[in-house]
Structure 1
């Protein structure tokens, strides 16, 4: 037996995309919570307006920004420690 197909209401779809975009919740987590495949969600994310970043791109950029901020913080601490040793 195959999977039962059902349509996701526009309201639920909007909620899913909003949670991923604004709250940074992983696609896999939201997919599992709503019983939707990750492939379906990535398809939705890929349907952005031409010339504007897609939600997927925004999520990726937000994640990269957080990683870079963490790296800057680590380097700042290391630099401070090095400067204190040289005093």
Structure 2
């Protein structure tokens, strides 16, 4: 099973992606990557890796910003149509 060696951040992200997005079980990931299940659960609980957490937060921020911009664009379009009448 696990050898106690540090796991590279890229490998951690890959493991979590396989579990979260591709349906791999923690047990399957543990066996495939020779990593302890406890370590995987800890990464999942702790937000996996700082860079992944940062990316998720940045993605959420950008989604909100896009929504605000679409709303502003919609209002500007309505105002423009009103002024042409």
> TM-score of the superposition, structure 1-length normalised?
0.50
Q: How does 1:31-46 map to 2 (within 5 A)?
A: 31-46=30-45
State the structure with bigger RCO (CA 8 A, min sep 6), 1 or 2: 2
Q: Secondary structure at the match of 2:38?
A: helix
Partner of residue 6, structure 2: 7
Q: How does 1:16-35 map to 2 (within 5 A)?
A: 16-35=15-34
Unaligned runs of 5+ in 2: 48-52, 57-85
Who wins on radius of gyration, i.e. which is larger? Answer: 2
Post-superposition shift, 1:24?
1.2
Choose between structure 1 and 2: higher helix proportion. Answer: 2
Moved over 4 A (4+): none
Aligned partners of 1:4, 1:23: CA distance in 2, in Å? Answer: 25
Q: How many residues matched?
A: 48
